[in-house]
Amino acid sequence: MIKVSPRAVQQIKESARQGNALGMALRVAVQKKPDGGFHYAMGFDDVKAQGDVVIEVDGVQVVFDEQQKPLLEGMTIDFVELEPGQHNFIFLNPNEPGYVPPRED
């Protein structure tokens, strides 16, 4: 199943508040690129379609299409500082070719 780090949960809640999207689920989608890598998209969505998988993590609902489950299984969404002052969501996905687990600090 998809995991969401505590930092990502906090940022998702803050983004929902700022974007007037309180109560909406975060929809996550993945697409395989021609080179085999993955492209991710996410945004708030208030529509749940038949075949959607819904998980809840600390009050945040995450939704994705059931057909994407094999690509998303075991993925973690995190929110990290990539450069000083530059924070981004990242997708740690063991299903992606070339995936290297993060170092334990």
Query: Is the pTM here over 0.75, yes or no?
Result: yes
For 88-100, the pLDDT digits (tens) are: 999 999 999 888 8
Domain spans of the chain, in order of start: 3-92
Backbone dihedral angles phi then psi of residue 7, each to the nearest 5 degrees:
-65, -40
pLDDT of residue 100: 84
Q: Homologous superfamily of 3-92 in CATH?
A: HesB-like domain (2.60.300.12)
Pairing of strands 3-4, 76-83: parallel
For 33-48, the pLDDT digits (tens) are: 998 889 999 999 998 8
